[in-house]
Structure 1
Amino acid sequence: MNQKLSPFTILLLVTPPALWAGNAVVGRVISELIPPITLNFLRWAIALLVLLPLGYSVFRQGSGLWANRKRYAMLGLLGIGLYNTLQYIALHTSTPINVTLVGASMPVWMLVIGSLFFGSRIAGTQVAGAVLSISGVLTVLGQGQFSQLLALRFVPGDIFMIIATIVWAFYSWLLVQSTDTEAIRRNWATVLLAQVSFGVMWSGMFAAGEWTLTDAHIHWGWPLALALAYVSIGPAIIAFRCWGMGVQRVGPTTAGFFNNLTPLFAALLSSAFLGEVPHLYHAVAFALIVGGIILSSRR
């Protein structure tokens, strides 16, 4: 952990924000087609089926899964059962822009939670990097104009996203408290499947509660099917795999700064779908965010 940022590590940590930006947009688009908690359950149930042929050995006797079941149950609860559920609930009343704005507080929560619960020391460069990186996020959201920021309005869904961001910070710190056995570590799919297997159980219980307590219903069709395929493979399996490897290499604090690329990617995706050309403030924001990442990772 805490290695220098190599090109491969940067690629690992840039990939999840790009996929998560698409996840926020897709989650908002299909919010009227499927209940949020059910969406999260189906997403990870599909991911489990995809991972099963690759990492089924994790269920064999002696793999270490059951010996470390409390750790994997907690990782599954935080990273899969709670974080994604809270994000999809937030997208029912909030916009992808607001959700990514709230998610931009990730570096701050990484620093605070690491210091309070995991004995991590906060360096001055990390604080400066957090300020610089968040400035880049605000530049995107304000489209380079301070008046645009003042016009932003927050809704109850943003509160859910604040809770989700705190949950993700705890999840990321727990990732580096590794007690994985060699039988699990030797295959990336077994590491992820160990978490997903518990996460599906958590999200399944939450979904059952949703159908029991609310008037839940699903509008099946190709748009929902394609959306489920995307969120199950891209933002789930690929993003979680890359994030896990990146966090193990540089630590949760530095990795948290890469999360601030999500609003930038969201803006670029919106530009692509709407046929708009990138603006100067996109370049300025990118420079600020990258500057914050570099500054925070300095020793």
Structure 2
Amino acid sequence: MSENKTSNSNNAGYILAILAVIIWSGNFVAARFLTHLTPIEISFYRWIVTFIVLTPFCMKKLIKNIKYIKGRWIKVIIISILGVTVFNTFVYLAAHTSNATNMSLLATLSPIIMAIISRIVWKTKLTINQKLGLLIVIIGVVILITKGSIDVLMNLKFAVGDLYMLFAVILFAVYTLTLKVRPKEISQSAFFYLMVIIGLIPLIAAMIFKYASNNAHTLDTKSALILIYVGVFPSALGFILWNMAIAKIGAIKGGIIYDAIPFFSSLEAVILLHENLLISQVIGGILILAGIIYSTIGDKIKKQNDI
């Protein structure tokens, strides 16, 4: 009975992680229309929208259960700053001087960094199937991003933005690994709402400074609508689904699924932006999905064969 419960919990976790990744992939498409805004402005507006959306549903829950945070405030503040304030800001900052190819390639390092940190801190090991699955996923991502051309890899040029992106990837890995700091008495949505409140404080201070120095950009209708979308879906729904997924399957398995973002971003670009579908995208996408499936069911098959 307990094995069935664990299996069902894992299956739900995989579905939640995939849904989060699909939602997040839309963030990269939306970001293409916000290049006139600074990274601080994008982060501020998206999280303000998230705060407004979550308040009616989460404020009472948080007030009722905030007492369970006692003794964990420093950890909660750190994880909030990492996940809300800094991570997305550095991604947008990277986009100013880095290119999409470099950023996507660097993003694939996230599960590897998670595995390294988890191995050092918690002595967690990847299974053989997880290692092989991750390798297949990374090969698929490289084919997808480079369009199957070795010349793209050979001619990669790195800029300051790439360092920002690498830092963002490390931050996201640390954020995902430290989600276990949430007390079980507080729901995922209420805990995330608290993180948004804490993470917004530095962004509000930065925006006050920008307005005081007349450096803030005004929002047009199109930008406002895009930011509302980003605030509701990638920020609110995406993060809550991801946090729920990690609670069920752990950071390592979630990290492997995270690498599917370039595949879903390409798919959405084809559908929404009418970009051409390339054979390299099809091959890369198949490998990414195959790697994820293998890493998630490989151990189950092995256990069944061992019985």
TM-score by length of 1: 0.87
- Structure 2 residue aligned with 1:63: 66
Contact 2:80/2:199 (<8 A) preserved: yes
AA aligned to 2:241 is C
Q: Deviations over 1:93-116 (max 9, x none)?
A: 223343222111111111011112
Secondary structure of the residue that 1:121 maps to in structure 2?
Answer: coil
The 1-side partners of 2:214 and 2:160 are apart by 20
- Structure 2 residue aligned with 1:295: 294
The 2-side partners of 1:70 and 1:28 are apart by 35
Return closer, same or farther for 1:229/1:62 CA change in 2, 3 Å cut-off: closer
Structure 1 segments, 4+ long, off by >4 Å, are 2-7, 206-212
CA shift for structure 1 position 39: 1.5
AA aligned to 2:201 is M
CA shift for structure 1 position 52: 0.7
Contact 2:62/2:191 (<8 A) preserved: no
Secondary structure of the residue that 2:158 maps to in structure 1?
Answer: coil
The 2-side partners of 1:177 and 1:202 are apart by 22
Q: Deviations over 1:188-245 (max 9, x none)?
A: 4312212111111133345456667x87331321121012101101110110011011
- Structure 2 residue aligned with 1:172: 176
Secondary structure of the residue that 2:32 maps to in structure 1?
Answer: helix
- Structure 2 residue aligned with 1:73: 77
The 1-side partners of 2:250 and 2:151 are apart by 36
Contact 2:24/2:261 (<8 A) preserved: yes
Q: Deviations over 1:108-129 (max 9, x none)?
A: 1110111122332233333322
Secondary structure of the residue that 1:245 maps to in structure 2?
Answer: helix
The 2-side partners of 1:65 and 1:210 are apart by 36
- Structure 2 residue aligned with 1:112: 116
AA aligned to 2:51 is L
RMSD between aligned alpha carbons? 2.5
- Structure 1 residue aligned with 2:196: 196
1:154-233 equivalences under 5 Å are: 154-180=158-184, 182=185, 184-185=186-187, 188-208=188-208, 216-233=215-232
Contact 1:103/1:165 (<8 A) preserved: yes
AA aligned to 2:150 is F
Return closer, same or farther for 1:273/1:49 CA change in 2, 3 Å cut-off: closer
- Structure 1 residue aligned with 2:142: 138
Return closer, same or farther for 1:207/1:118 CA change in 2, 3 Å cut-off: farther
Q: 1:48 aligns with which of 35, 45, 51?
A: 51
Percent identical residues: 24
The 1-side partners of 2:159 and 2:6 are apart by 39
1:32-47 equivalences under 5 Å are: 32=36, 34-47=37-50
AA aligned to 1:70 is I
AA aligned to 1:244 is N
Q: 2:93 aligns with which of 89, 92, 95?
A: 89
Contact 1:58/1:194 (<8 A) preserved: no
AA aligned to 2:138 is I
TM-score by length of 2: 0.85
The 2-side partners of 1:211 and 1:24 are apart by 27
Contact 2:26/2:268 (<8 A) preserved: yes
Q: Deviations over 1:39-95 (max 9, x none)?
A: 212211221111111011244265326523223212211111111111111112223
- Structure 2 residue aligned with 1:265: 264
Uncovered stretches (5+) of structure 2, i.e. residues with no partner: 300-307
Q: 1:30 aligns with which of 25, 34, 54?
A: 34
Return closer, same or farther for 1:227/1:15 CA change in 2, 3 Å cut-off: same
Larger radius of gyration: 2
The 2-side partners of 1:80 and 1:27 are apart by 17
More helix per residue: 1 or 2? 2
Moved more, 90-99 or 273-282: 273-282
Uncovered stretches (5+) of structure 1, i.e. residues with no partner: none
AA aligned to 2:80 is G
Indicate yes or no: 2:17 matched with 1:13: yes
Return closer, same or farther for 1:170/1:209 CA change in 2, 3 Å cut-off: farther
Contact 2:80/2:198 (<8 A) preserved: yes
Moved more, 147-156 or 34-43: 147-156
